[in-house]
Chain A
């Protein structure tokens, strides 16, 4: 099993450009997440999905859009990149504790390092 994979690993954009980050998981997990990590800030949730075709906003959703057309994939889009979006982006997936909606262990991808000039 590959677990959670992310593409690309690195990317440099100019202000105003757009891009899509791809996350794929092969664990048949219902829940998927996109986080950003900035120095000294820990991880902050951007968007998440609790199932195919559903998405929801997290703590810092502005400037990002997501789609989950297939259960195994979760895409994060930046329509018009800004320098404030320079960060490391992590995707994660999880299953709920049986009989509840509460997330259990989350499995993380290796990250995408994005620089916006």
Chain B
């Protein structure tokens, strides 16, 4: 069963606005990752945050992790039409199952020029 659940399922914003997507998970994790998928393409890794980290930045991306609430958020600042894609969170666990990532169902982001 899916571990991560993204919220919202779909998001539509104007170019230049910020986009925030949330991910909740159920069991303790070793790391949490965010991926982007353009229509009809493979997934591309965006950012990885480890369980002992609280915030991470990469260009226009900002990821936070709250292990007490079992949740993460992805913020894309100053969005562009090229950011239109589906965004997935994925969790990796310690111990049994550590080899695997468990993906959520994704947030579909539309950025309107």
Give residues in A with beta carbon < 8 Å to B.
Answer: 4, 31, 33, 35, 40-45, 48, 50, 56, 58-59, 90, 92, 96-97, 100-111
Q: For B48, list chain A residues within 8 Å (CB).
A: 104-105
A-B contact count (CB 8 A): 70
Interface size of B as a range = 20 to 34
Q: For A33, list chain B residues within 8 Å (CB).
A: 100
Q: For A107, list chain B residues within 8 Å (CB).
A: 45
Give residues in B with beta carbon < 8 Å to A.
Answer: 1-2, 30-31, 33, 35, 40-45, 48, 88, 90, 92-94, 98-106
Does B88 lie within 8 Å of A42, measured CB to CB? Answer: yes
Give chain B nearest CB distance to A56 CB in angstroms. Answer: 8
Task: With A90-B42, A108-B43 as known contacts, state yes or no: A103 contacts B98, CB within 8 Å.
Answer: yes
Does B41 lie within 8 Å of A105, measured CB to CB? Answer: no
| In the bound complex, CA of A42 to CA of B107 (Å) | 10
